[in-house]
Amino acid sequence: MLTTVLFIALLSKAQTINWANLSKKQKNIINVNAGVDYSLSYGIGYGYQLRSKLPIVLNTEFSVPSGNNLTDDYKAKIGAQIRWLQLDNVHFTTKIQGVFRRYENDYATLLNFGSDLSGIVGYYKTHWFVAGEVGFDKAIVTHFKNSDLEKENYPDIQDGWYEPSTGGNFYYGIQTGYSQQKFDVYLKAGKITTQTFSDAPLVPFYAQLGVNVKLGK
């Protein structure tokens, strides 16, 4: 069960956008980031702004933790950020993402498909913003491949897909940033709790520092 807890703790944090400093002609957004969400991790991402009535940015992201074997653990995401409402400088947006995670240790290799949903309300100006975010990161279905060491300890243990969902985390925090025409620099931080609210992950907080480079006029 410890393996599962550690795996669920690998949260996914999407890139942060200053909606007041994103023109309709800036279709492409490149993101680099570093953060803490159980371990120190590094990520890259790409966003594409659709030509639509509602402001929508499609995005994909990939991140790995620091360490000797970077391909042992990683996260990949694909999804969208949608701004539903704007009242003067106050914006309400949601993030909807599918998540694929891989986690490996001496006992097992886990492959997981999940989802990450969040809502954000913030105050956005041309050169700065501050917002609050509440979200839920769910591990929906997970494949376990147990190592020889694990099978020696538990001969009856079985490999395979495990359903129903293996767990999830709620998270809530704040985000702020500084923007110019071609880039955003942002910082986000917050708390994490399990879906049962009865306990917390080994590291019950997250933080991320990131930079968006916006291509276009």
* Residue pLDDT, tens place only, 144-183: 898 888 888 888 888 888 876 667 899 999 999 999 999 9
**58 - beta bridge partners?**
48, 80
Predicted confidence (pLDDT) at residue 47 exceeds the cutoff of 90: yes
pTM equals 0.86
Class of domain 2-215 (CATH, top level): mainly beta
Q: Is 47 helix (H, G, I), strand (E, B) or coil?
A: strand
Predicted confidence (pLDDT) at residue 6 exceeds the cutoff of 50: no
In a 13 Å sphere around the CA of 66, the CA atoms on its Cβ side amount to 10
pLDDT of residue 217: 73
Going by C-beta distance under 8 Å and a sequence separation of 6 or more, which residues neighbour residue 169?
A: 8, 9, 11, 136, 137, 192, 193, 194, 195, 201
Give the mean pLDDT of 193-198. 83
Percentage above 90 pLDDT, the chain: 59
Percentage above 70 pLDDT, the chain: 89
pLDDT of residue 2: 41
pLDDT digits (tens, 9 = 90+) for 96-107: 999 999 988 888
Give the mean pLDDT of 74-90. 96
pLDDT of residue 137: 92
6-10, 34-38, 62-66, range with the lowest pLDDT: 6-10
Query: What's the distance, Cα to Cα, between the start and end of the chain in Å?
Result: 50
Distance between CA atoms of residues 35 and 41, nearest Å: 5
pLDDT digits (tens, 9 = 90+) for 123-147: 999 999 999 999 999 988 889 898 8
- Burial of residue 186, with CB atoms counted within 10 A of its CB: 0-12 exposed, 13-18 middle, 19 or more buried: buried
Give the mean pLDDT of 55-68. 89
pLDDT of residue 150: 83
The residue length of the chain stands at 217
Predicted confidence (pLDDT) at residue 122 exceeds the cutoff of 70: yes
pLDDT of residue 29: 97
pLDDT of residue 204: 86
